[in-house]
Amino acid sequence: MSSIIVVEDEQTILMLMTDILEMKGHEVRAFGEADSAWNHIQMHGFNADLLITDLKMPGKIDGVELVNRLHQVLPEIPILVVSGYHVAADTCMHDDHVHFLRKPFSLDQLNAICDTLTHH
């Protein structure tokens, strides 16, 4: 079973993604903003197979900063950026380990890319 950290500030989308991924057999840790996700990673290490994050979020850091910080310490971890702001995604898409899923997306698209990135 793979483990996924999901960071999304829109509560409805966060709950939906969490439910869908858990139904597919993934263990999910959900966070409503990048700050709490980064605090978790600093305290516990990155104990997951995949990070899924939105880009534009309230708080001290946004999804772009979260991606950059994680890749500074763990450059091999696959990251899925899920956002409607495709221009902003270009700032963190300079890497083979960062993938992009544009909102709105289908649940089939989410499942397919998560299966690929977690080698599930």
pLDDT in tens, the chain (120 residues): 799 999 999 999 999 999 999 999 999 999 999 999 999 999 999 989 999 999 989 999 999 899 999 989 999 999 999 988 765 545 555 667 888 898 899 999 999 999 999 975
Determine the angle formed by the axes of helices 11-23 and 107-118, rounding to 10 degrees. 60
Q: What is the CA radius of gyration of the chain?
A: 13
Residue 87, pLDDT score: 54
Residue 22, pLDDT score: 97
* Contact yes or no for 41/50 (Cβ under 8 A): no
- Name the region of 20 (left: φ>0; alpha: ψ -120 to 50; beta: rest): alpha
* Contact yes or no for 5/23 (Cβ under 8 A): no
- Assigned CATH topology for domain 3-118: Rossmann fold (3.40.50)
Burial group, residue 115, by CB count within 10 angstroms (0-12, 13-18, 19+) = middle
Residue 119, pLDDT score: 78
* Coil/strand/helix, residue 104: coil
Does pTM surpass 0.95? no
